[in-house]
Amino acid sequence: MTSMQTSPGQGGLPPNRAQLQELIGSMRVAQLIYVAAKLGIADQLKDGPKRMDELASTAAVDPNALYRVLRALASQGIFAETGDCHFALTPQAELLREDVPGSLRAWAMMLEAESWWEPWRDLLECVNLFLNASTRM
């Protein structure tokens, strides 16, 4: 039996498995980025770290839900939790600011809007329809 190499940065998972797992779950991260972009969180943090309750109040959202979103993004290196429920920008989060050159905020909001990703939901049906149509020819 051959031994499989593992990747220490991915919890000891084999590299191919870890990479595929990350790709499968990437939709979740994209949606988290979309929420932060839509709420303008990076713009709120341009002058330095802020407390969660202040971020939530300005965005008019539930502080507990926003805290979960920002902690999940911090685990990906997007935003940083600086202690005592404070969050700050990271180099990646800077790119979600509306006023920086090369900002990706609008891109994140466009690609994760329902009108852009919903058609992908029916991809299997489209493939099946194509397969059924080509076998009838």
**Is 131 part of any domain?**
no
**Is 89 part of any domain?**
yes
**Is 123 part of any domain?**
no
Q: In this structure, how many other beta carbons lie within 10 angstroms of the beta carbon of residue 93?
A: 24
What pLDDT sits at residue 6? 45
8-55 residue pLDDT tens: 455 677 889 989 988 888 889 999 999 999 999 999 999 999 999 999
**Is 119 part of any domain?**
no
**Is 72 part of any domain?**
yes
**Is 7 part of any domain?**
no
**Is 106 part of any domain?**
yes
Q: Going edge to edge, which strands form the sheet with 80-83?
A: 50-51, 86-88, 80-83
CATH code, domain with 84: 1.10.10.10
Average pLDDT over residues 81-109: 96
Confidence band of 7 (pLDDT split at 50, 70, 90): very low
Question: What are residue 87's DSSP bridge partners?
Answer: 50, 81
67-93 residue pLDDT tens: 999 999 999 999 999 988 999 999 999
Q: Rounded distance, CA 38 to CA 109, Å?
A: 6
**Is 70 part of any domain?**
yes
Q: Rounded distance, CA 102 to CA 97, Å?
A: 9
Domain membership of residue 39 as a residue range:
16-110
Kindly report the average pLDDT of the chain as a whole number.
Answer: 87
Number of domains in the chain: 1
Cβ atoms of 79 and 87 closer than 8 Å: yes
